[in-house]
Amino acid sequence: MTDVIKDIILVVAAIIVAPIIGGILNGLDRKISARMQNRYGPPILQPFYDVLKLFGKERIAVNQTQMVYVLGYLFFAVASLGMLVLKQDLLMIMFVLAFSNISLVMGAMSVRSPYSKIGAQREIIQMMAYEPVLLLMVVGVFMSTNSFMIKSVFDLDKPLLYSLPLIFIAFIYVLTIKLRKSPFDFSTSHHGHQELIKGLTTEFSGPQLAIIEMTHWYDLVLLLGLITLFFAKPIWVGILIALVCYFLEMVIDNISARVTWKWMLKYTWIIGIGLALTNIIWLYLKNRA
């Protein structure tokens, strides 16, 4: 019984703390990006100002179902974060996370704006690119722990990074796509595009956009949490690695220009799947020997 109460407290704490961490990380991202571009940059709390302001704006819904998809996006992202803090099934987390993204895509597809539709189609292509790599990552975790449960990752005496170094690199590659950062920011991005306006989020306004923004924070924390898994013991090393990876994403974001979706699909499949498969074959041979 006490375990259940402990779990509930843990999930509630994660739901409250995650957007705060995500927002601050987002603010740091904007500040550091600005410094890299020789600008002063917004205050670190700027993402919170943006979201609060958006909550105070007029509610304009383009159609009746739009809000359902936005809430679905939030709900599934929160659910997968909850599963992460409870150390549940890693495979299930990936599926729930995909559901969350699909909700957003469907929301963007439900409106009549061509910008929104192009953004949604590009998002589907992005998912097509990174989902195989995420699944192979789960396979790699299974091969080194003999379980899909995250709990078993924490029970390992050797960090996951030592057995899955190539999958880790593939995951960092995929992280850029997941965070919609340059060079893979073609479905939507923080800054408006010339040809796509805001892509996926063009038709969302006011509170809906605020919820989408908050979901991005949950997503960010979840993804950094997944990086932490690679060095789960001691956990502070994992968190440090996750933060270093996030900084690396900022650097990549600032030094690269947007590529085409064909380029992304080709190279994500070649590099991402190639690295992950190589790692898995190596693990297989090692386990057999």
Partner 1 sequence: MGIIDKARKKSPWIIHYDCTSCNGCDIETLACLTPLYDVERFGIINVGNPKHADVLVVTGSVNKRNVRVLKNLYNQMPDPKAVVAVGACACTGGIFSDCYNVYGGVNKVLPVDVYVPGCCPRPEAIIDGIVQAMDKLEGKARNMKHAASGKQPEAALQASTGNNNDGANT
Output 116 or 279, the one with its CB closest to partner 1: 116
**Binding flags for partner 1, 58-97, as an x/- string (CB under 8 A):** xxx-------------------------------------
Look at the block and give the residue holding tokens 């150390």.
87
173-202 residues in contact with partner 1 (CB under 8 A) are 191-192, 197-198, 201-202
Q: How far apart are CA 108 and CA 23, in angstroms?
A: 23
41 binds partner 1 (CB under 8 A): yes
Q: How far apart are CA 275 and CA 227, in angstroms?
A: 17
Closest to 276 in 3D by CA, of 136, 72, 101, 175: 136
Q: How many other CB atoms sit within 10 Å of the CB of residue 284?
A: 11
CB of 202 to partner 1, least distance (A): 6
46 binds partner 1 (CB under 8 A): yes
Output 88 or 113, the one with its CB closest to partner 1: 113
Q: How far apart are CA 109 and CA 112, in angstroms?
A: 8
Interface with partner 1 (CB under 8 A), residue from 34, 71, 139, 172: 34
CB of 187 to partner 1, least distance (A): 15
The HSE-up count of residue 117 (CA atoms within 13 Å, CB side) is 5
Q: What is the CA radius of gyration of the chain?
A: 19
Q: How far apart are CA 87 and CA 223, in angstroms?
A: 14
Output 59 or 286, the one with its CB closest to partner 1: 59
Interface with partner 1 (CB under 8 A), residue from 2, 38, 157, 262: 38
Q: How far apart are CA 36 and CA 47, in angstroms?
A: 19
234 binds partner 1 (CB under 8 A): no
Query: Could you tell me the two tokens for 135?
Result: 């699944």
CB of 267 to partner 1, least distance (A): 29
Query: Could you tell me the two tokens for 188?
Result: 């939507």
48 binds partner 1 (CB under 8 A): yes
DSSP tag of 192: P
Interface with partner 1 (CB under 8 A), residue from 6, 12, 20, 53: 53
The residue ranges that bind partner 1 (CB under 8 A) are: 30, 34, 37-43, 46, 48-53, 55-60, 191-192, 197-198, 201-206, 209
